[in-house]
Chains A and B, each alone.
Chain A
Amino acid sequence: MFQSVALAAAAHAGYNRIMATVSQTIRVKVLFFGRLKDAFGGGEDAIDIALPADVEALFAQYAARNPHLQQYRTSLVASCNREFVDWGTTLRNGDEVAFLPPVSGG
């Protein structure tokens, strides 16, 4: 992988000099359910987030754009790729993150 990056850098040195000044971002799929889906105004989104990023930072990015979401933070759990995860879990490109209100099946 590093080798291919080096080759690309040699071929497009100017382009890569510009890109080096921009922090690397990843794209994640984000799902909202229950009352949070109503509050967000939709159940599914895709977002670019700068690395390093964890689940907490992802939610903060949404709350920054939609301040009314912040009130739900303490009554949510998060999942990443369909497993419950800690809010400090590091995100990777292509992850599917969901914010889950208290569950009420049955």
Chain B
Amino acid sequence: MASQFNDIVELVRAPIDPAHLTNQVRAGEDGAIVAFDGFVRDHSRNRRTLYLEYEAYETMAVLKLREIAVSIHENFAIHRIAIIHRLGRLEIGETSVFIAVSAAHRAAAFDACRFAIDTLKRTVPIWKKEYFDDGSVWADGELPSVPSATPSAESAS
């Protein structure tokens, strides 16, 4: 899904290719790319993790990812962003989320990339189930904050 900025915003089930995505956001006018590669850890709270399963409220999750991309452009002097999350079963070491931000200068790219992953973890309806030798558990998460439902807030949007 390309926005007006040629961003890449996707939920995928196939393995993520970080090198390919990094090249997708790279252009001659840029001087820096900062990337975040989140991948499956082999343990959780002293237990050995076998694999993870991710599920999403897919239509809403894509909307929320797009909102992050729009917000990044509004708040940071960046060029492009790729923000990809994988769903389904993921094995140890596989990339679950990848974000790459290109910019003319490094500071904006660092700040925007950090903002993107932090916002994703707070606001995008995706859930992770951890599988262990002796069972499975839904990972603890963060409860998204809900905007105020006051009439003034609605008219402001």
- Enumerate chain A interface residues (CB-CB to B < 8 A): 31, 33-35, 38, 75-79, 82-86, 88-89, 98, 100-106
| Complex interface: chain A residues within 8 A of B121 (CB) | 103-106
Could you tell me the distance in whole angstroms from the C-beta of B145 to the nearest C-beta in chain A?
A: 8
Q: Which of B19-27, B74-82, B107-115, B122-130 contacts A (4 or more CB under 8 A)?
A: B122-130
Contact A101 B63 (CB under 8 A): no
B17 within 8 Å of A (CB atoms): no
Could you tell me the distance in whole angstroms from the C-beta of B124 to the nearest C-beta in chain A?
A: 5
Contact B144 A77 (CB under 8 A): yes
| Complex interface: chain A residues within 8 A of B126 (CB) | 103-106
Closest B residue to A106 by beta carbon equals: B121
Could you tell me the distance in whole angstroms from the C-beta of B21 to the nearest C-beta in chain A?
A: 16
Contact A31 B57 (CB under 8 A): yes
Size category, B interface:
35 or more
Could you tell me the distance in whole angstroms from the C-beta of B101 to the nearest C-beta in chain A?
A: 16
| Complex interface: chain B residues within 8 A of A106 (CB) | 38, 85, 96-97, 117, 120-121, 126, 128
Compute how far the CA of A82 lies from the CA of B61 in the bound complex, rounded to whole angstroms: 8
Given A86-B149, A105-B124, 13 additional A-B pairs, CB 8 A: A34-B55, A34-B127, A38-B138, A77-B146, A78-B146, A79-B125, A82-B63, A85-B149, A89-B149, A101-B138, A104-B121, A104-B142, A105-B54
Closest B residue to A82 by beta carbon equals: B60
Compute how far the CA of A79 lies from the CA of B128 in the bound complex, rounded to whole angstroms: 19
Compute how far the CA of A85 lies from the CA of B127 in the bound complex, rounded to whole angstroms: 19
Closest A residue to B136 by beta carbon equals: A38
Contact A103 B144 (CB under 8 A): yes
Known contacts A82-B59, A98-B57; A105/B138 CB under 8 A: no
